[in-house]
Structure 1
């Protein structure tokens, strides 16, 4: 592949959620506050047709409502649109082929870093981002990081939503372990996990090559100890005292876990939680809603006992979590850039966006602050922790610029493997840190 890529999917791919009673129409409508701002003028190209490329659904309403909104765009403009849905693991190849051959979809909805990896091949989105931000209360931090060219006000992509992974836990078992909820202190969190193991309901976090889950846990270990992959200038910083503390903590955490986590895939923690084998993990909404929508009384009872909380902050000022982000791009090769940008604008307006957000059960949390008013966030208090998924300063490659090097480090599991070598006893922390430092530097120097 020409471009190195950040590893994507899998964070919540284990269990599709049923539309059923949680479809958009099942929730009361709520007005979204919007300013009276004129949209940018995009003179639509005569005879325009659009092809859209985006990741496939992992919850049924995602695709169904997205398609309905697309049909509404065609009715409003007369522009025919074809949407191609691609399995998440195949998206990097599809995106790379389109940009590197200069032909393909007119709108590409990739993942967070994509516009930065193809910065010289995307159409600037500053006018559209400015309009939407002014109308809908401004953009959350993560949307700005993934949308804007590093240290500029130039928008390369238009973030559409993100999904995150907080703590998912059984309330009764956490109480049995001696805690009223999830503590924010790292030492207390470790004691909670020790208590869960003592009562026979251990925690489980992946440090295998489980897409999404393993990097989510590894990054949390780094960020909660004040460590990061690089500094603000992009200098690799994996050989520091903060990283050493994170490695020591990971080793202690591993002793509290259910056996077998080093062989987990992206579905393993979902299955273990549903089966009652673990009492605490890190995940998106899929576990909870698969339990809640199951036609099974036992699983419904587990849903009633399930809750969510932010991962402990530790040294971080906010929850040390990021969100897998959908990021819309208009390639420079398209012959219909105005129609492409108008399609993105249409899909982000409240009449289309709020039904999609609501119908997706908050799975793709909003990048624009006004959509925090959506009815989905008051429909169930257990969803609250997902509402501000994109209100975070953390991202893959934190604290430096988003580059192909940052993508390659993630793609090659450098940070995950650094922790895995230590928790399995393969290497001492100092040796694993040095190996990870050298591996990351090779990508940043290439």
Structure 2
């Protein structure tokens, strides 16, 4: 950090705070093993005079996410003198606010948006290659999705800086699965359908979001398609949704949907969390936030003891058919303080800040840099082990084509989610749903 500024380096020299997710979610200042690093030279970023930064990012799902994030921003201000204002925005609103910023050339200097956002606005953001390569060298390299979402397609130029990814494996009540006659969550389609039917029969149903939910709705649609061997576009970006594999996934949806708890067609991202903790649903895909909430509330600790996690059913896929909802930071060209902005992003990814955030959130935003696989959080609770490799999944937005403006727009308009929900609700046959989705997708892939 010695090249940021002498003042910043002095401010950081004494910082050895690491994090631990403690009972109650508030006492996380505890010693932890050091994160392994390799020699690397931070790029020289002379911070502009009188620099001030404004940042927006999605709202938190676990309280320490915002608390620790803000404390790290305050540390940066203390070390550099750069004032940073941060606003936490609703998940469904961050996309529209990012669009306004990009289109007006005004507003926040930094947007920590979702994965595809820098690719939607690639001509409006500055390159971050220097800090991305520094961080990769120092922290053992980038995990698959970190590099995939950070680099502009077909280049080695970084336009985003992925800060973490929230994955959504299966979260389930062990007692309910056992009562249904199963010892684990099956990885094949037929076995998983049988489990869901059995849970419905004992009045302990599961449920997957089929509403326009940024993380959970898109996650449901992607899992259904990928686990059947389907893809939205091919490697060249040619629309490939109209396929036997996609048709099979929609027919499977027709069988699976009746096993769901009522209301999933309108579920947004918080909905399944609430239903699970209210004991209305007993199996659902979700980030670690659900387990975190149950574990840290005396009223639901009995539920936490009964919670287990499992990979999303693989079906015919070669690996777990899942991606991650990724926090991807970008710096807009309209900023008057590009060096300060890049210095801040690098600072937030350094181990003194990042490991504290990762651990305090119980791994909610799984790490994008390989060295953080050594974080104490991943051995602190065996129930969260499934989240450790969240940023190494081999699927992404717009799979199997490039992450592009088209891929981001299709996802932000929930075209794939609506393809499945239209079949689940009976508004369209599988064939009609595919044709409608294909027509809508072709508007953006030319």
Question: What residue is the counterpart of 2:349 in the other structure?
Answer: 348
- Give yes or no for contact 1:115–1:122 (8 Å, CA) kept in 2: yes
1:19 and 1:86 mapped to 2: Cα distance? 26
**Structural mapping, 1:268-287, within 5 Å:** 268-287=271-290
Cα deviation code 1:91-148 (max 9, x no counterpart) = 2232222222222222221211111111112111111111101111111111111100
SS of the residue 1:385 aligns to: helix
Cα distance change, pair 315–23 in 1 and its aligned pair in 2 (3 A): farther
* Residue from 226, 230, 234 that aligns with 1:223: 226
Question: What residue is the counterpart of 2:320 in the other structure?
Answer: 319
2:187 and 2:241 mapped to 1: Cα distance? 24
SS of the residue 2:33 aligns to: coil
- Give yes or no for contact 2:62–2:293 (8 Å, CA) kept in 1: no
Q: Displacement, 1:251?
A: 1.2
Q: Displacement, 1:76?
A: 2.0
2:110 and 2:280 mapped to 1: Cα distance? 43
Deviates more, 1:299-308 or 1:52-61: 52-61
Question: What residue is the counterpart of 1:37 in the other structure?
Answer: 40
1:210 and 1:124 mapped to 2: Cα distance? 30
Structure 2 length-normalised TM: 0.90
- Give yes or no for contact 1:169–1:307 (8 Å, CA) kept in 2: yes
Q: Displacement, 1:368?
A: 0.5
Q: Displacement, 1:379?
A: 1.2
2:105 and 2:213 mapped to 1: Cα distance? 32
Question: What residue is the counterpart of 2:378 in the other structure?
Answer: 377
Question: What residue is the counterpart of 2:409 in the other structure?
Answer: 408
Question: What residue is the counterpart of 2:131 in the other structure?
Answer: 128
Cα distance change, pair 151–256 in 1 and its aligned pair in 2 (3 A): same
Question: What residue is the counterpart of 1:433 in the other structure?
Answer: 434
1:273 and 1:88 mapped to 2: Cα distance? 20
1:365 and 1:282 mapped to 2: Cα distance? 16
Which stretches in structure 2 are left out of the alignment for 5+ residues? 1-20
Question: What residue is the counterpart of 1:361 in the other structure?
Answer: 362
Question: What residue is the counterpart of 1:177 in the other structure?
Answer: 180
* Residue from 45, 49, 61 that aligns with 1:46: 49
Cα deviation code 1:285-315 (max 9, x no counterpart) = 222222222222xx22121111111101122
- Give yes or no for contact 2:117–2:408 (8 Å, CA) kept in 1: no
RMSD over aligned CA atoms reads 1.9
Q: Displacement, 1:211?
A: 4.1
Which stretches in structure 1 are left out of the alignment for 5+ residues? 1-17
SS of the residue 1:325 aligns to: strand
Cα deviation code 1:201-254 (max 9, x no counterpart) = 121112233443222111100010111111111111111011011111111111
2:57 and 2:276 mapped to 1: Cα distance? 30
1:266 and 1:350 mapped to 2: Cα distance? 29
Question: What residue is the counterpart of 1:111 in the other structure?
Answer: 114
Cα deviation code 1:50-106 (max 9, x no counterpart) = 222222333221222112212221222222222233333222232222222222222
Structure 1 length-normalised TM: 0.90
